[in-house]
Amino acid sequence: MKPAVEIAGAGIAGLTAGLAFAQKGWQVRVHEQNSELGNPGEGIHLWENGLRVLDALGALAPVISGVIPASRHERRDPDGKTFSSGHFGRDFRLYVPSQASLSTTLYDALPWSRPAGRSSSTRGWSQQNRKVGCTSRTEAPRAPI
């Protein structure tokens, strides 16, 4: 029997953890209280470490497909006046895909046998199984499963 993991939260951390466990041969079930993945219209800054993780999970290409890499930056005061700006170095990587696009790509990469969080079955649960709680910085912590 495969080891299994139950993950609370289908945010970026939960889906990334789920995909990493699945690729190591674990049976994964992700639970989510919301009906949609990600925050539509909101972007997320993916710097080098995040890009490396996505690449290792095989999800980098679809996440950055069609996303223009950032080549410069600027800082603005509360009135919108630029007070600092510059260009990123040639080897610097920064992409800003939508959170919904990133979440959907991670979700689609998981080997689902049934929709996420829709089954309360715990058949086959053993001491080898693990529970992981992942929450975003904007949500209240979830109770343990």
Residue 62 contacts residue 51 (beta carbons within 8 Å): no
pLDDT along the chain (145 residues), means of 10: 88 92 91 79 90 96 93 93 91 90 91 48 39 53 46
State which residues form the domain around 104: 4-133
- CA nearest neighbour of 133 among 5, 4, 2: 5
Residue 99 lies in a domain: yes
Query: How many domains does the structure of the chain reveal?
Result: 1
pLDDT at 140: 53
Specify the pLDDT at position 133: 56
Decide if 140 is inside a domain: no
Could you tell me the sign of the dihedral formed by the alpha carbons of 121, 112, 29, 33, in that order?
negative
Give the up-direction half-sphere exposure of residue 128: CA atoms within 13 A in the CB hemisphere: 9
Output the pLDDT for position 113. 45
CATH number of the domain to which 121 belongs: 3.50.50.60
Output the pTM of the full model: 0.72
Does residue 119 form part of some domain?
A: yes
Give CA torsion, residues 40, 46, 50, 51, to 10 deg: 110
Answer whether residue 88 is part of any domain: yes
Question: Residue 23: what pLDDT?
Answer: 93
What are the structure tokens assigned to 128, written together?
């080898």
Comparing CA positions, the residue from 8, 52, 38 lying closest to residue 105 is 38
pLDDT score at 15: 93
